[in-house]
Amino acid sequence: MTPRQQALLVAILLAGVGVFADYLLKLASDQQESVQSKWFWSGLLVYAAMAGGWVYVMRHLSFAQIGVVYSVSTVLLLTLVGVVVLREPLRGHEVLGAAMAVGSLLLLARFG
């Protein structure tokens, strides 16, 4: 595996970690004292822990590549968590948006 491929994989994994942090913040938002809850501080710590991984990714990929990979991965993973864990309905326009996000990733892979 090349360093670029490894960096792409790390970026996708970091998106997953970021989605986990987002989930923790979602739990915090349901609390009366959101910012003082254990969920808020847990989410904040998870976000902070991601910094080292981003330094590695930024060494091997351009900001444009990072933006597309991170954004698409985050959109798809947040959608998955919303549907599977939070039992949120998925509407047609959201499915279309996710498909377009995947299309942007395919374009990056082909021409990036």
Q: What does the pLDDT read at residue 97? A: 87
- The whole-angstrom separation of Cα 12 and Cα 77 is 10
Residue 111 has pLDDT above 80, yes or no: no
Q: What is the DSSP letter of 2?
A: -
- Higher pLDDT residue, 109 or 4? 4
- Both tokens of 75, joined, read 């959109």
Q: What does the pLDDT read at residue 84? A: 94
Q: What is the pLDDT of residues 96-108, one digit of tens each?
A: 988 998 888 788 7
Q: Domain residues for 44?
A: 3-111
Q: What does the pLDDT read at residue 38? A: 96
Q: What does the pLDDT read at residue 43? A: 96
Averaged pLDDT score across all residues of the chain = 91
Q: Where are the alpha helices (DSSP H) in the chain?
A: 3-29, 38-49, 51-60, 63-84, 92-111
Q: What is the pLDDT of residues 55-72, one digit of tens each?
A: 999 999 999 889 888 988
The values of phi and psi at residue 37, to 5°, are -80, 160
Q: Report which residue type is found at 36.
A: Q
Q: What does the pLDDT read at residue 68? A: 84
| 92-111 and 63-84 helices, crossing angle to 10° | 150
DSSP-assigned states of every residue in 31-46: STTGGGSHHHHHHHHH
Give pTM, 2 decimals.
0.79
**Total tally of structural domains belonging to the chain:** 1
Residues in the chain: 112
